[in-house]
Amino acid sequence: MNLSQSDWKKQLNEDNNAVILDVRTQQEWEEGIIPNAILNDIYKGQGFIYKLEELDKSKNYYVYCKAGARSSQACNIMKQMGFENTYNLDGGFMNWKGEVSIPEN
């Protein structure tokens, strides 16, 4: 499900079963993230799938990339794998007005 920036942020803040998933590249990740996000680069192909298989399908996943296309694709893949609740950040990180942090290496 695609959510606007404001709806994604509001719903995320009210969700105590939330996981934030960043599907960008390592290089994009290092430029800044939405706090508490976990990285799973969709360009890693089968590696991306393996990491998804390790995740708890009962959680609610808030997924983002730079502009919203990769995260939309990731949500579709996750749905096919049995994840019930995935929320794509419409417009992606480049339009994010919320808090940003620099990930620790």
The domains of the chain are located at 2-95
Identify the pLDDT of residue 43.
98
Does the annotation count 65 as an active-site position? yes
One CATH from 3.40.250.10, 3.30.70.1060, 3.40.50.1000, 2.170.8.10 for 2-95: 3.40.250.10
Annotated catalytic residue, options 21, 23, 65, 78:
65
Q: How high is the pLDDT of residue 23? A: 98
| CA distance linking residue 62 with residue 86, whole number of Å | 6
pLDDT given at position 105: 63
Of 42, 52, 105, 101, give the one whose Cα is nearest residue 73.
42
Question: Please, what are the averages of pLDDT over each run of 10 residues along the chain (105 residues)?
Answer: 96 97 97 96 98 98 98 98 98 95 84
Question: Which amino acid type is present at position 39?
Answer: L
* Spatial separation of the C-alpha atoms in residues 33 and 96, rounded to whole Å: 10
